């Protein structure tokens, strides 16, 4: 399961400062993505200000903001493809070596390039049909002009995939010819499409297992299924477009940007100092610092791997110094990195609300108690791992506490800004996210000056766009696959089969957990949300399970997927960050994994944990 990057590019996530592009074309690309994110922040804030002061708004501001997400969602993955950081779910290339590894890379990239070529063709067909409609996004700006970002983005990804096939030109040329041949044969030759569906799906699955990007698996599967049924592939970019311009989706990159700004500043050190001065003298202090610092940053960045990389170097010495053995300390940090999935304003929470069509505010409230329960269980386990002979540390130092709180006052107020704007009725979810992003920018760049305006800010914005764009690319192509399954009445068939074979609600919930845990082992949380949620929501409804409860169960299981031995991306990130072999990492994480699994069962069978806060809202 992946939430950050391909394994071979994990080093790209460590110090972002070391990855500043040197070539001016790269700087221009980064600047375009950065400007799109900046406009997404400023437009909603301007709307709030004008509404409050003059009781007027900006014409078309919502549509403009939504289509800026389209820009980030297509140009961000182009940056990821440029840097070799498209999201993957396979670690097989880490096992292969020499010629076998090179051959796997050539094959997987070539298949991904072929899929991207067809997505580019489908996008051109979609834009041509939209051009004929003659609609305007705002007066004077035809919608199809903005929709041209779809074929442009896919074309850039295609070029980068072919470039990264190999460092040798003969191999690159061979890959170009192979992709061109695939387009000509599959696109124009009279082939028996139905009989080729399964062989082509097998090729795509093998390419993914060898390290191909996730979007190629989902997009390629959708293309093959549509082609096999004789359906127009232009409907895939249409689905992509409709998802990315969803009115609630701008909150995803905006909250993620806020988290990136905090993670790249000195905020982690200031917050850890607060927790340490407040709770360090207690036996549970070091574990408390670790659990809640990691949960805080994952909730805002949406990427638990980034949390491990950003905080791991600070937290491991703290735990070892508090007389933790190194193995349990690493296991605690790795596990705590996933906790933010269930804490607002987590990106997966926003995405589930969009896909399941539930109010975002209620989704946030429903996840609070389950998220705190998971944190409490991991905290209890973490406390037990500390040596009983450990010194409780120095006594309470009121002066040190006051100094730490004063230094971190701006960071500590960040959740209050987001929650206050949202639940106080002052702003929509997207506007609240924009205010939060601007607030963190103001704190990190103006107040503390941790980030330099011209040297650091564009870099952080571009890295955020890269991550968010990679996720949105997966979501867009996954929706096409989901819609095919819906049109084929797969959810209805699944519901009928489950009702015919499972009578007990409690047995169904257990089976659901086991199924979701298996899915979490092989699929990232974002694509799993798009593909699986439309399938399981009607089944849950048949057993009387509320969508909010189902959503929390779903995300809690996906949270465990980050820790699944060998394929869990948090395990891989931590292995890289701490320089430990995978078997040692598995031993460190397994105890915490089972503790959190108990939490999943409690969330499943105690529905009031989910329903109590939304019921009081």
Q: Indicate whether 22 pLDDT > 60.
A: no
pLDDT of residue 406: 93
Q: What does the pLDDT average to over 452-477?
A: 88
For residue 346, being part of any structural domain is answered with: no
Phi/psi of residue 141, nearest 5 degrees: -125, 100
Angle at 517 between CA 514 and CA 521, to 5 degrees: 140
Separation between Cα atoms, residue 476 and residue 460, nearest integer Å: 24
Quick count: other Cβ atoms within 10 Å of Cβ 507? 12
Q: What is the pLDDT of residues 274-303, one digit of tens each?
A: 878 887 777 778 888 899 888 888 887 666
Separation between Cα atoms, residue 1 and residue 558, nearest integer Å: 9
Phi/psi of residue 386, nearest 5 degrees: -80, 140
- Structural contact between residues 451 and 261, judged by C-beta atoms closer than 8 angstroms: yes
- Structural contact between residues 338 and 592, judged by C-beta atoms closer than 8 angstroms: no
Q: Indicate whether 422 pLDDT > 60.
A: yes
Quick count: other Cβ atoms within 10 Å of Cβ 426? 13
Per the structure, how many domains does the chain have? 1
pLDDT of residue 394: 58
Quick count: other Cβ atoms within 10 Å of Cβ 98? 7
Length of the chain: 617
Helix (H) or strand (E) run with residue 258 in it: helix 251-264
Torsion sign over Cα 491, 497, 499, 504: negative
For residue 319, being part of any structural domain is answered with: no
pLDDT > 70 fraction of the chain, expressed in percent and rounded: 91
For residue 89, being part of any structural domain is answered with: yes
For residue 356, being part of any structural domain is answered with: no
At 474 the three-state DSSP class reads helix
Whether residue 268 has a cis bond before it, omega within 30° of 0: no
Q: What is the pLDDT of residues 345-396, one digit of tens each?
A: 888 898 899 888 898 889 999 999 999 999 999 999 998 888 766 555 556 7
For residue 119, being part of any structural domain is answered with: yes
- Structural contact between residues 297 and 307, judged by C-beta atoms closer than 8 angstroms: yes
Domain with 208, as residue range(s), is 21-244
pLDDT of residue 398: 84
Q: What does the buried/exposed string (b/e) look like for 56-90 if buried means 16 or more CB atoms within 10 Å of the residue's CB?
A: eebeebbbbbbbbbbbbbbbbbbbbbbbbbbbbbb
pLDDT of residue 10: 39
Residue predicted with more confidence, 597 or 309: 597
Which of 394-398, 409-413, 551-555 bottoms out in mean pLDDT, i.e. has the lowest?
A: 394-398
For residue 190, being part of any structural domain is answered with: yes
- Structural contact between residues 428 and 319, judged by C-beta atoms closer than 8 angstroms: no
pLDDT of residue 15: 39
Instruction: State the pTM of this model.
Output: 0.81
pLDDT of residue 158: 96
pLDDT of residue 191: 79
Supply the mean pLDDT for the chain: 85
Q: What is the pLDDT of residues 477-523, one digit of tens each?
A: 888 888 888 888 888 888 888 888 888 889 999 999 988 888 877 67
- The set of long-range contacts for 93-96, using a CB threshold of 8 Å and a minimum separation of 24, is 93/7, 93/8, 93/210, 93/211, 94/7, 94/8
Choose among 309, 437, 436, 215: nearest CA to 19. Answer: 309
Separation between Cα atoms, residue 499 and residue 540, nearest integer Å: 10
Separation between Cα atoms, residue 593 and residue 554, nearest integer Å: 16
Band (pLDDT 50/70/90 cuts) for residue 441 is: very high
For residue 104, being part of any structural domain is answered with: yes
For residue 611, being part of any structural domain is answered with: no
Q: Indicate whether 8 pLDDT > 50.
A: no
């Amino acid at each position: 399961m992946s939430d950050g990057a391909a394994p071979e590019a994990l080093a790209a996530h460590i110090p972002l400062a070391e990855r500043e592009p040197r070539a001016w074309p790269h700087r221009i690309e980064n600047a375009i993505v950065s400007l799109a994110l900046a406009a997404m922040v400023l437009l909603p804030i301007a709307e709030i200000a004008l509404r409050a002061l003059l009781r007027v708004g900006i014409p078309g501001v919502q549509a403009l903001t939504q289509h800026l997400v389209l820009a980030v969602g297509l140009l961000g993955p182009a940056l990821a493809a440029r840097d070799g950081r498209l999201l993957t779910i396979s670690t097989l290339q880490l096992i292969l070596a020499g010629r076998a590894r090179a051959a796997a890379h050539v094959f997987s990239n070539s298949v991904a390039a072929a899929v991207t070529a067809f997505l580019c063709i489908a996008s051109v067909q979609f834009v041509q049909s939209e051009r004929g409609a003659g609609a305007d996004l705002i007066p004077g700006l035809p919608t199809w002009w903005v929709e041209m970002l779809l074929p442009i983005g896919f074309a850039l990804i295609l070029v980068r995939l072919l470039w990264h096939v190999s460092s040798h030109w003969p191999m690159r040329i061979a890959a170009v010819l192979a992709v061109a041949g695939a387009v000509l044969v599959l696109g124009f030759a009279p082939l028996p499409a139905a009989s080729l569906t399964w062989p082509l799906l097998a090729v795509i699955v093998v390419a993914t297992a060898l390290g191909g990007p996730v979007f190629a698996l989902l997009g390629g599967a959708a293309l093959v299924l549509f082609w096999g049924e004789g359906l127009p592939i232009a409907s895939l970019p249409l689905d992509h477009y409709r998802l990315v311009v969803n009115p609630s989706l701008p909150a995803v990159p905006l909250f993620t940007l806020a988290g990136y700004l905090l993670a790249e500043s000195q905020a982690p050190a200031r917050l850890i100092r607060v927790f340490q001065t407040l709770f360090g003298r207690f036996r549970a202090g070091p574990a408390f610092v670790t659990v809640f610092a990691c949960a805080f940053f994952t909730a805002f960045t949406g990427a638990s791997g980034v949390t491990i990389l950003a905080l791991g170097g600070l937290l491991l010495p703290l735990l070892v110094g508090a007389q933790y053995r190194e193995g349990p300390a690493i296991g605690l940090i790795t596990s705590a990195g996933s906790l933010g999935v269930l804490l607002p304003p987590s990106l997966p929470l926003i995405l589930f609300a969009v896909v399941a069509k539930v109010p975002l505010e209620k989704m946030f409230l429903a996840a609070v108690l389950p998220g705190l329960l998971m944190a409490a269980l991991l905290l209890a386990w973490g406390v037990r791992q500390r040596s009983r002979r450990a010194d409780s540390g120095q006594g309470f130092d009121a002066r040190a506490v006051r100094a730490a709180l004063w230094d971190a006052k701006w960071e500590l107020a960040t959740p209050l800004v987001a929650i206050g704007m949202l639940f106080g009725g002052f702003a929509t979810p997207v506007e609240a996210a924009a205010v939060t992003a601007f607030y963190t920018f103001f704190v990190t760049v103006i107040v503390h000056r941790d980030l330099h305006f011209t040297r650091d800010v564009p870099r952080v914005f571009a890295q955020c766009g890269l991550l968010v764009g990679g996720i949105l690319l997966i979501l867009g192509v996954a929706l096409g696959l989901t819609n095919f399954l819906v049109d084929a009445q797969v959810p209805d068939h699944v519901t009928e089969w489950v009702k015919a074979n499972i009578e007990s609600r409690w047995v169904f919930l257990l089976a659901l957990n086991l199924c979701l845990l298996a899915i979490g082992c092989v699929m990232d949380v974002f694509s799993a949300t798009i593909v699986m949620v439309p399938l399981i929501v009607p089944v849950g409804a048949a057993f009387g399970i509320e969508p909010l409860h189902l959503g929390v169960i779903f995300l809690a299981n996906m949270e465990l997927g980050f820790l699944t031995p060998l394929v869990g991306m948090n395990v891989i990130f931590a292995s890289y960050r701490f320089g430990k072999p995978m078997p040692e990492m598995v031993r460190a994480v397994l105890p915490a994994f089972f503790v959190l699994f108990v939490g999943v069962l409690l969330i499943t069978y105690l529905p009031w944990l989910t329903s109590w806060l939304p019921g009081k809202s």
